[in-house]
Amino acid sequence: MPHQHPDRSPDETSVAEVTRPAADAAPTVAASPLPERAGWLRAVADALDAQRDALAAVADQETALGLPRLTGEVARTSGQLRLFADVVEEGSYLEVAIDHADPDAAPPRPDLRRMLRPLGPVAVFAAGNFPFAFSVAGGDSASALAAGCPVVVKAHPGHPRTSRATGDLVAEALRDAGAPDGTFALIEGFEAGRALVTDPRITAIGFTGSLAGGRALFQLACSRPDPIPFYGELGSLNPVVLTPRAIVARSEDLAHGLVGSFTLGTGQFCTKPGIVLIPDGSGFETAVAAALGETEPATMLTDGIAERFSDGLARLAHLEDVEVVAGDPDGAVAGRAAAPVVLATSTDTLRAAADRLLEECFGPLTLLVRYRDEDDLDAVLEVFPGSLTAAIHAEPDDLPMFGPIIERMTRLAGRVIHGGWPTGVAVTWSQHHGGPWPATTAPLHTSVGATAIRRFLRPVAYQDVPDPWLPEAVRDGNPLGVPRRVDGRLEVAPPQA
C-alpha cells in the first residue's frame, strides 16, 4: 500500500503504479466479509487515536489551526471510521430487496433479487481546511472503504507532511488488519490528480475544495471515454435569516453567535454563514460590530488562500452601495494573517450585483443584507445559488409569517437549521451534507454521515439466478442476517450473536 514520494514525477505512469494494484485488489475488497471489513475500519481508527498527539503536532506546524482543534478533529475522524464500521455490520446499506417468482402475476413475475455492490477503486481528493476529517483518512475514504472499494487519495498540498504521516498510518493499519495490498494508496501533485481522474481503473471521485478546481475536475471526469461519478463539494454561502422578533428578543446573543460562527477556523469552513438577511432598520449592524470588538487576526491555512481572501474582500467591499460595518477591508490581510470583516447592503443591491455578491469569499467575512418585509425576503432568496445549509432564527409568534420560508430554504439547501448556526456538522445516520449546485455536484448524496456510503455503490438485480450463485446478502435464509425487504415487507434481521 505505497504512497507516491514527492521526488517522483507525478505523471500518468506513476499514478498507474497505485491504481493498478487498487484494481487488482478490488474484487477481494468487495468480497470481504462484512465483519472483516468493519475490522479494517476500526483498526485505522485505533491507529489514529494512538498517534493523535503526534499527528496533531505535525498538522499544527503546517496549518496553524491549533492543537485543541486538531486533536478534536483526529477524534472526529476516528469516530467517522467507527460509525462506518457499524454501518457495514448493520447491513441495511446494502438495500436488499427480494421479490419471489409469481407465475400468476400479470405479467408473470420472475424471481428478482436486488442489492448494492461496490463500484471499484475510488479516488479521493483531500480537503485543505480539515487536514484529518476531510483528508487522507476522512469521510470520503472511510465511506469508500466501508462500501468495499479500494481508495487512492490525492493529498492536499497545504499539509503534505500531515498527509504522508496519516497515509503511512492508514496503510500500515489496513495491512496489519488483513486488508489486501492495493486497498489504499496516497499520491501527490497537481498533474497526478488530473491523471487520477482520467485513469480508467478509477470508478468514482470524492472531492472537497474550490468551485473552480472542482468544476475543472468534474468536467474532466465527465469527458472521459467512460464518464464516472464525481461527488464534489465546491462552495456554499449558507444564508441565515433573522426575523424582527428574534432580533428584538435576543439581538446581543445572535450577534455573538454570528461572530463566533463566521470567524470559526478563520472563516475557512464550507458551512460558514456568508450572508445574513436582517430586517431593515433593526440596528443589528451595531450589535455585530460590538460583538466583533477587537478580534485579533488569525492565521489562514496557506499564503494562496490568504491572497484569494484579500482579493475577494477588496472586490466586495468596494462595490457601490456596500458599506463596512466592522473591520478594515483594505488592511484585513497581512501575510497569512486575516482579521474579520463585516459588510452590509440592501436586497436591491444584492439583486443588481448578484454575480459578485453571491460568490463565496473563503475567509472571515460575512455580509449583512437588509430586507424590507416578508415578500422582499422571499423574493431575494429566489436569487441565491444552492447551499449546503440555510438557517433561520425566529420566535414562536413568527410561525404563521415565516413558516413558508422553511419551504423556500428546503429548495435552496441540503440542511435546514432553526435556532442555530451552520458551522459544526454532526456525523450521524441522519446527517446530510450536500445541496444543489454549486454546493455539490450531486445533490442526491451526502459527504458526511452514514449514507455517504451510497455514493460508491451501484444497484444490481439478479433474475432467476440459482441460490448458490447469488451473493450471500440475497440468498435464501439471509445468511448475513441483514435487513431485507422481501415481497414488499421489511424484514429486520435479529441481532447477530
Q: Which of 73, 89, 233, 285 is catalytic?
A: 233
Sign of the four-CA dihedral 60, 61, 65, 68: positive
Task: Give the whole-angstrom CA distance, residue 364 versus residue 340.
Answer: 5
Sign of the four-CA dihedral 128, 132, 134, 137: positive
The alpha-carbon radius of gyration of the chain (Å, integer) is 24
Q: Is 270 considered catalytic here?
A: yes
Q: Is 66 exposed, middle or buried (0-12, 13-18, 19+ CB in 10 A)?
A: middle
Q: Quick one: which H or E segment has residue 486? A: strand 484-486
Q: Is 222 considered catalytic here?
A: no
Q: Helix (H) and strand (E) counts for the chain?
A: 15, 20
Q: Report the candidate in 199, 210, 219 with the shortest Cα–Cα distance to residue 122.
A: 199
Q: Which of 89, 149, 270, 361 is catalytic?
A: 270
The residues that bridge with 96 in the sheet, in sequence order, are 484
Q: Is 468 exposed, middle or buried (0-12, 13-18, 19+ CB in 10 A)?
A: exposed
Task: Give the whole-angstrom CA distance, residue 304 versus residue 310.
Answer: 10
How does strand 151-154 pair with strand 489-491?
unpaired
Enumerate the active-site residues.
233, 270
